[in-house]
Amino acid sequence: QEEIQEVKDEGNLEVLFNSLDKIVEEAKNREEPAWRPSGVPEEDFRSAVVPYLLKHRSYLQKVLKQKEEENRKVAEAVLAGRDRIAELQRQIQARKRAWQ
């Protein structure tokens, strides 16, 4: 018993066992299985990065659509402004001719 107690004290095993018990208890509440490496680093890296990249791509596509819509509205405003300028120039020319 003394030797076992010495080994436990030297290795700080009681604290380690308590933390292991805590981890096991926390894992019981998880619905999804814990991640385990496949042994192929490229696959492990890809499995972690691809979801992030897909999410980021979706975000960028959303932002792109918003910017395209903004650009379309600005282009319409520019065209409307040009039409208004052309109409004002016609009015100026007509009044100029009428005045002369």
Mean pLDDT along residues 2-25: 80
pLDDT in tens, 61-99: 999 999 999 999 999 999 999 999 999 999 999 999 998
Q: How high is the pLDDT of residue 47?
A: 85
For 1-20, give one letter per residue: b (16+ CB within 10 A) or e. Answer: eeeeeeeeeeeeeeeeeeee
pLDDT in tens, 37-57: 888 888 888 888 999 999 999
Tell me how many degrees the CA angle 77-79-80 measures, rounded to the nearest 5.
Answer: 65
pTM of the model: 0.50
CA distance 92 to 46: 67
Max CA distance (Å), the chain: 121
Backbone phi and psi for residue 30, each to the nearest 5 degrees, phi listed first = -80, 140
pLDDT at position 5 over 80: no
41 DSSP 8-state letter: H
The tokens for 6 are 């010495």
Confidence of residue 30 (pLDDT cuts 50, 70, 90): confident
